[in-house]
Amino acid sequence: MNSEAPEPTKAGLPAHEQVYRDLRDAILFGELEPGEPVTIQGLVARLEAGMTPVREALRRLTAEGALNAMGNRRIVVPVLDVDAVDELSAARQALEPLLARRAATRVTPDDVAELTSIDDRLDHAIERGDVSTYLQENHAFHAKLNQVAEAPILTAMVDGLWLRFGPSLRIVCGQMGTRNLPDRHKDMLVALAKGDADATARAMADDVTQGMDLVRQAVPDQK
């Protein structure tokens, strides 16, 4: 046995990649909230990383729209206004049903099984009022579907959209708990199992509508 760091250092991933993933998950699942400033030095301390990797991860996230670079070299978690939510909604409606349609033509029974299992865990999280797990499983459901769709470019675009509304969605869920969190996953699973592309796309469109109606509630009081 060597005396070198025997710590289970994740994988052999570069530091900037690890920082990126940590930060992305923090944005997606709630650690950070809208308006919160994100400082390089703070991240260096929090993640115990060097500043170069942190810096690179930050540039990546801002390019994806997950973070907002103010003019004066300050970076904050985006605060969505009505217009932004409308845009996000339009973009999701334009792309996600497309992906769902593709997924319906490629899905295998194994995929359906996995999606069903994710949805079960999601339901459990709702029952327990576990917001964090709900958000993760909900994301996992859509991520799996996108993976099945085999459209890397469209998927990357949609991932970027999720990153943009993640923090706001978290706020809403945190306020209203997991009750009244409707989703169209059940309809979607049935449609997928039948290979019904139209029905799958329709279910996805509804799911997106419901999701964005939720996000809309996070918009600071309109003036």
Partner DNA sequence: GTCATGGAATTTTGATCATATTTCAGTTTC
Partner DNA sequence: GAAACTGAAATATGATCAAAATTCCATGAC
Summarize as ranges the residues that interact with DNA (CB under 7 A).
12, 14-16, 38-42, 49-53, 55-56, 72-75
| DSSP of 164-222 | HHHHHHHHHHHHHTTTT----HHHHHHHHHHT-HHHHHHHHHHHHHHHHHHHHTTS---
Indicate whether 40 belongs to the interface with its own copies (CB under 8 A): no
Indicate whether 216 belongs to the interface with its own copies (CB under 8 A): no
Q: Is 195 left (phi over 0), alpha (psi -120 to 50) or beta?
A: left
Q: How far apart are CA 42 and CA 54, in angstroms?
A: 10
Indicate whether 35 belongs to the interface with its own copies (CB under 8 A): no
Indicate whether 115 belongs to the interface with its own copies (CB under 8 A): no
Q: How far apart are CA 158 and CA 139, in angstroms?
A: 11
Indicate whether 182 belongs to the interface with its own copies (CB under 8 A): no
In the shown chain, the binding pattern of residues 59 to 88 toward its own copies, with x for contact by CB under 8 A and - for none, equals: xxxxxxx-------x---------xx--xx
What is the Cα 36 distance to its own chain's centre?
18
Q: Which amino acid is at 24?
A: R
Indicate whether 148 belongs to the interface with its own copies (CB under 8 A): no
Give the interface segment with its own copies, choosing from 90-98, 112-120, 177-185, 196-204 (CB under 8 A).
Answer: 90-98
**Binds 98: which of its own copies, DNA, none (CB < 5-8 Å by kind):** its own copies
Q: Other C-beta atoms within 10 Å of 2: how many? A: 5
**Binds 72: which of DNA, its own copies, none (CB < 5-8 Å by kind):** DNA
Q: Summarize as ranges the residues that interact with its own copies (CB under 8 A).
A: 14, 16, 52, 55-57, 59-65, 73, 83-84, 87-88, 90-91, 94-95, 98, 151-154, 156-157, 160, 164
